[in-house]
Amino acid sequence: MPRLLLLLPALTYRAEAFLKAAQKINVNLTVGSEDPVHPFGPAFSNWLRLDFSNLEATTAVAVEFAKTNPIDAVVGVNDNTTVFAAMISEALNLPHNSVSSVLAARNKHRMRQILKSHGLPTPQFSVCAIDENPEVVLPRLNFPCVVKPLTLSASCGVIRVDDPQGFREAFARVRTLLKKLGLQDREEAGRQILIEDFLPGVEVAVEGLLTNGALRVLAIFDKPDPLDGPFFEETIYVTPSRFPPETQNQIGETLAQAALALGLREGPIHGELRINQKGIWVIEVAARSIGGRCSQTLRFSTGLSLEELILRHALRMNLSTLEREAKPAGVMMLPIRQGGILERIEGQEKAFKVAGIEELTITAQPGDLLVPLPEGTRYLGFLVARGESPEEVELALREAHRHLHVVVSPASPERQSSTPRFGVIQV
Ligand code: ADP
């Protein structure tokens, strides 16, 4: 039986789906994580303690382990663990993305530089240190523009600004956020802020799988809610896309070019792209699968989940006959609109009863401090729906969401200034 090393960070929505997938395929599973008891999963009997803050040391531990327990595939589930997966795979001579390509995909500035140098449509951008004087940066900017951290996800810290005063405020806000999350002490990218021209348009998310550099598009999700800022709350994703087939092909081609430019060659990728009269623009490409519980929307022939597909691909099992189930599906990432302490969420039963709703998962717990964007790092939960058409799916998600009523109480000033109880959940 092949052995899979699955790298699970402590804080991820993705653990459950990957653990379930590993149980379903015939594989000898070793979980590499920092703790044997995962907050989102069971205690692991087959467990390797790994430190996800030290790339070299962790690679050495995994290589040592592989001497007595030969490993056939290493899979990371989020932006950080995919870097470790690449490094360990390289050391074990397994098919993998280069470490530099995965690092580029998780650094928004590096990614912009690479996409630009490969001639892909790129907004004008510049980077500055968090302790730089914003007045010095101002003359370089066009308005509107977007201010963002280099390595966060889920739109955390991403702010559109329309004028110099807006920039001063957003800059200070992102600087405070990076300090609060402790990112500035961890890496240089945590001490930097990226500013890029705002790209108008509509947005799609694309799920893809790379094999030896060739991209297979697994799904294109439309994002029907406008994403014009000042903050960029992710809400509804619906697939299949309502864009005409030619546009969908161009979206796939643009993502493939971006992956090639970054040097990504193996495994899942997740892209966010904007479409306007001037073309198709890559907002970002991550060397991992879709975050949250959004993968629940995707099912492949014989009922395979996205995670099973990813693990099978990593283990070089045959996937040639796999088709995605055609039935339209969608997910709503339940946004946090009001800050405070979560008391309860009313209307769950009604929301779940809406025709087409297949799943309602509340991931926030009563007593949690809820923080809205742009400082927030997590969602309230997820709604998943299926229907006869993308329109029907979208309507079901909206109707179900209307039934949910989030009751919060004010947080004390000490609680408000505390670091998040769960740290930064890596989507
Ligand atoms: P994250 O990895 O945190 O999601 P992104 O860079 O993908 O950060 O930005 C989050 C969202 O902000 C995007 O999905 C998009 O809606 C919006 N956004 C980011 N950059 C731009 C831009 N240059 N122009 C317009 N919208 C943007």
Q: What spacing in Å lies between the alpha carbon of 149 and ligand 1's midpoint?
A: 10
In the three-class reduction of DSSP (H, G, I as helix; E, B as strand; rest coil), residue 21 is classed as: helix
Q: How far is CA 263 from CA 128, 189, 284, in A?
A: 25, 20, 14
Rounded Cα distance between 298 and 326, Å, is: 9
Answer yes or no: CATH 3.40.50.300 is held by domain 3-103.
no
Rounded Cα distance between 132 and 171, Å, is: 10
Select from 93, 171, 186 the least CA-distant residue to 137. 171
How far the first Cα of the chain sits from its last, in Å, is: 30
Q: How far is CA 223 from CA 182, 270, 272, 389, in A?
A: 31, 14, 10, 15
In the three-class reduction of DSSP (H, G, I as helix; E, B as strand; rest coil), residue 25 is classed as: coil
Ligand 1: does its nearest atom lie under 6 Å from the Cβ of 283? yes
Beta 28-33 vs 3-7: how paired, if at all?
parallel
pLDDT of residue 40: 62
Ligand 1: does its nearest atom lie under 6 Å from the Cβ of 272? yes
Q: How many CB atoms lie within 10 A of CB 256?
A: 21
Ligand 1 atom with minimal separation from the 155 CA: 3
Asked whether this chain's domains 3-103 and 328-427 adopt the same fold, the reply is: no
- Give the burial class of 311: count Cβ atoms within 10 A of its Cβ; 0-12 exposed, 13-18 middle, 19 or more buried: buried
What are the tokens at 116? 């630009």
Ligand 1: does its nearest atom lie under 6 Å from the Cβ of 227? yes
**Alpha helices (H) along 212-304:** 245-262
Q: How many CA atoms lie within 13 A of 62 on its CB side?
A: 34
Ligand 1 atom 5: residue of nearest CA: 155
Q: What spacing in Å lies between the alpha carbon of 222 and ligand 1's midpoint?
A: 15
Contact between residue 220 and residue 241 where contact means Cβ atoms under 8 Å apart: yes
Q: What spacing in Å lies between the alpha carbon of 157 and ligand 1's midpoint?
A: 10
Ligand 1 atom 22: residue of nearest CA: 198
Q: Which CATH architecture has domain 124-197?
A: 2-Layer Sandwich (3.30)
Q: What is the DSSP letter of 12?
A: B
Q: What spacing in Å lies between the alpha carbon of 155 and ligand 1's midpoint?
A: 6
What are the tokens at 15? 């653990």
Place of tokens 């004087």: 133
Q: What spacing in Å lies between the alpha carbon of 158 and ligand 1's midpoint?
A: 7
- Best residue among 152, 203, 272 to mutate for probing ligand 1's pocket (most ligand atoms within 8 Å of CB) is 272
Query: What does each of the 427 residues of the chain score in pLDDT, given as a tens digit?
Result: 999 999 999 888 899 999 999 999 989 999 999 988 766 666 777 899 999 999 999 999 999 999 999 999 999 999 999 999 999 999 999 989 999 999 999 999 999 999 999 999 999 999 999 999 999 999 999 999 999 999 999 999 999 999 999 999 999 999 999 998 888 888 899 999 999 999 999 999 999 999 999 999 999 999 999 999 999 999 999 999 999 999 999 999 999 999 999 999 999 999 999 999 999 999 999 999 999 999 999 999 888 999 999 999 999 998 877 889 999 999 999 999 999 999 999 999 999 999 999 999 999 999 999 999 999 988 999 999 999 999 999 999 999 999 999 999 999 877 777 655 434 444 4
Q: In this structure, which amino acid lies at residue 410?
A: P
Rounded Cα distance between 226 and 203, Å, is: 8
Ligand 1: does its nearest atom lie under 6 Å from the Cβ of 123? yes
Contact between residue 14 and residue 26 where contact means Cβ atoms under 8 Å apart: no
Q: What spacing in Å lies between the alpha carbon of 301 and ligand 1's midpoint?
A: 32
Q: What spacing in Å lies between the alpha carbon of 283 and ligand 1's midpoint?
A: 6
pLDDT of residue 423: 45
Ligand 1: does its nearest atom lie under 6 Å from the Cβ of 225? no
Rounded Cα distance between 231 and 378, Å, is: 14
Sequence ranges of the domains in the chain: 3-103, 124-197, 328-427
pLDDT of residue 426: 46
Q: What spacing in Å lies between the alpha carbon of 276 and ligand 1's midpoint?
A: 15
The CATH class of 328-427 is alpha beta
Question: CB-based contacts of 40: which residues, under 8 Å, 6+ apart?
Answer: 12, 13, 15, 16
- Best residue among 82, 232, 288 to mutate for probing ligand 1's pocket (most ligand atoms within 8 Å of CB) is 232
Q: In this structure, which amino acid lies at residue 87?
A: M
What are the tokens at 185? 């002490």
